[in-house]
A and B are shown apart, each in its own frame.
Chain A
Amino acid sequence: MTTIVDEVSAEHVRGRGGGGPAPTRVVVAYGFWIFLLSDFVMFSGLFATYAVLSGQTAGGPTGHELFNLHSVFIETACLLFSSYTCGLGALSAERGQQGRFYLFSLFTFVLGAAFLFIEISEFVGMIDKGAGPSRSAFLSSFFTLVGMHGAHVTTGLLWLVYMVAQAAAKGLRPHVLRRLLCFSLFWHALDIIWVGVLTLVYLIGVE
């Protein structure tokens, strides 16, 4: 009888602060989730800027002339698959499968680096054509928005290397797993922002 009563009261208080403080893991992930949402809010400012300025080409090249959808599709696929391997890596780490974690992290890193390589070569190609960030308001906002996403991906790659080093040096201990959880949240969030960039900047811009 007591267990049933306990379960009912546990059910009743769940999510309402009952049952004492939440475990560290829940607190850490929730805090990091709030940070990611604030990152989305920051990106929303850049998206709004781009949406307002995308028509202001000052007689310079438009998105239709500059964007190459083939490389954008490859970029998108790289980031999506890296999000997938990152999720599988986090899952392997949770289950204590260190070898699989290294393997999936390697895939994540290679795919993320491929994304970044394509993006940087796209930027270099545009600047060579005289379509740098100083050419028009459209290009300023384009480089700010896409470049900010690229900067996040760069940070994510450095963080991934750091996490693999931690897993190798300290093993998959609870605090390492918590940091890894934050990293995988960050990496999935970057993919969500990329969906917005892809749609607003590339697909609607070229159409």
Chain B
Amino acid sequence: MDGDERSIDDRTPGVEERESGAGYLSYTAGLVLALLLTIASFVVSQTNLLWPPGIAVGLVVLAFAQIGVHLVFFLHMGSGPDNTNNILALAFGLFIVFLVITGSCWIIANLNANMMPSMPH
């Protein structure tokens, strides 16, 4: 009976499937990947490993990769059908975040570019 109930459960964010050992392994893999990405971010920002004008873009890419690692290994966001609701909510949240950040930067940069030169007093 318990097995039947579980088979129709939705997955909750933050909960790994109940396989022995899988949970510890998932967190440890996430920690190692996140550490590597963090170290890569610091190295990229402090050296000329990347073409200097592209460093900011490289850092943003590394940050997205690390956020992905956190979501998959720590919050256990998967692509399975039992995770659909969580992923849809996340997608909507990210959409709003994207609109607010890029929209603000875009509008303010545009206003800045169209400012009248300040008059000498």
User: A residues near B, CB below 8 A?
Assistant: 6-7, 10-11, 13-15, 18-19, 22-23, 25-26, 28-30, 33-34, 37-38, 40-41, 43-45, 47-49, 51-52, 69, 73, 76-77, 80-81, 83-84, 87-88, 90-91, 94, 181, 184-185, 188-189, 191-192, 195-196, 198-200, 203-204, 206-207
Are A48 and B105 touching (Cβ within 8 A)?
Answer: yes
Among B8, B23, B84, the residue within 8 A (CB) of A10 is: B8
Are A37 and B12 touching (Cβ within 8 A)?
Answer: no
Report how far A15 CA is from B87 CA in the complex, Å. Answer: 12
Among A18, A25, A41, A83, the residue within 8 A (CB) of B100 is: A41
Residues in A with CB closer than 8 Å to B35 are 77, 80
Report how far A19 CA is from B46 CA in the complex, Å. Answer: 55
Are A29 and B14 touching (Cβ within 8 A)?
Answer: yes
Are A88 and B13 touching (Cβ within 8 A)?
Answer: no
Are B27 and A196 touching (Cβ within 8 A)?
Answer: no
**Interface SS of chain A:** helix
User: B residues near A, CB below 8 A?
Assistant: 4-5, 7-16, 23-24, 27-28, 30-31, 34-35, 38, 41-42, 44-46, 55-56, 59-60, 62-63, 66-67, 70-71, 74-75, 81-82, 84-86, 89-90, 92-94, 96-97, 100-101, 103-105, 108
Among A26, A38, A91, A198, the residue within 8 A (CB) of B9 is: A26
> Contacts A30-B10, A41-B100, A199-B62 given: A69-B105 contact, CB under 8 Å?
no
Residues in B with CB closer than 8 Å to A198 are 38, 41, 63
Report how far A191 CA is from B76 CA in the complex, Å. Answer: 14
Tell me the nearest residue of chain B to A23, going by C-beta: B9
Are A14 and B14 touching (Cβ within 8 A)?
Answer: no
Chain A CB within 10 Å, residue with most, of B8, B24, B45, B108: B8
> Contacts A45-B100, A181-B15 given: A30-B86 contact, CB under 8 Å?
yes
In the assembled complex, the CB of A179 is this many whole angstroms from the nearest CB of chain B, namely 12
Residues in B with CB closer than 8 Å to A7 are 7
In the assembled complex, the CB of B49 is this many whole angstroms from the nearest CB of chain A, namely 12
In the assembled complex, the CB of B6 is this many whole angstroms from the nearest CB of chain A, namely 9
Are A15 and B82 touching (Cβ within 8 A)?
Answer: yes
> Contacts A40-B97, A80-B35 given: A188-B63 contact, CB under 8 Å?
no
> Contacts A195-B63, A204-B59 given: A188-B14 contact, CB under 8 Å?
yes
Residues in B with CB closer than 8 Å to A29 are 12-15
Report how far A34 CA is from B15 CA in the complex, Å. Answer: 16
A15-B10, A15-B82, A87-B74 known; 9 new pairs, CB 8 Å cut-off, are A25-B12, A29-B14, A37-B90, A38-B93, A83-B70, A83-B74, A91-B27, A94-B23, A196-B67
> Contacts A185-B14, A207-B55 given: A30-B85 contact, CB under 8 Å?
yes
- Shortest 4 CB-CB contacts between residues of A and residues of B: A37-B93, A29-B12, A48-B104, A199-B63
